[in-house]
Structure 1
């Protein structure tokens, strides 16, 4: 995983603030692979249905951008229990839980 401990802490704190303590955040994509270089930060958040919406995603993104000063962050939010999309299945299969 190519994230620092400070980056992981900031992501987890932002998820707690935006989605609550039951949210699961996974890093997937190129940053999850130690053998690759570069790439944006791809995050998959699985949250309770009542907070898996655009307003909470915006809060999450704003908190991360303030803490990490990163411009290349992609976020996918999935409601826990909803029918998984292809991106949800890929993130669950290949992602690393933070």
Structure 2
């Protein structure tokens, strides 16, 4: 996993502030490959409760985390009971590593 302990803590803190301690956060995508270089940070966040404005929430989380990580690009994929699932959700759920 190509995230420092500090980066993991920052991500966890921001997600907890926005969504509470019950939100599950996983890293997936190219940042799991320790031999690779560069790449954005792909986060999969699972919620037990429905989300009213998922696009706004995803964008807000992405911007807050990007700012805290000094501009590193962050993509946020949400999963909640009221959101439709796509193939990328399955991949992130199965291959992602919990922070």
User: What TM-score range do you get, normalising by the shorter chain?
Assistant: 0.7 to 0.9
CA RMSD of aligned residues (A): 1.9
Following superposition, the deviation at residue 71 of structure 1 comes to: 3.8
Distance 1:4 1:82, change over 3 A: same
Q: Deviations over 1:38-81 (max 9, x none)?
A: 11111111112146723332332232122111242111111047
Match of 2:13 in 1: 13
Distance 1:12 1:21, change over 3 A: same
Unpaired runs of 5+ residues, structure 1, are: none
TM-score by length of 1: 0.85
Q: Report the Cα distance in structure 2 between the residues aligned to 1:80 and 1:4, rounded to whole angstroms.
A: 31
Match of 1:27 in 2: 27
Q: Report the Cα distance in structure 1 between the residues aligned to 2:23 and 2:98, rounded to whole angstroms.
A: 11
Unpaired runs of 5+ residues, structure 2, are: none
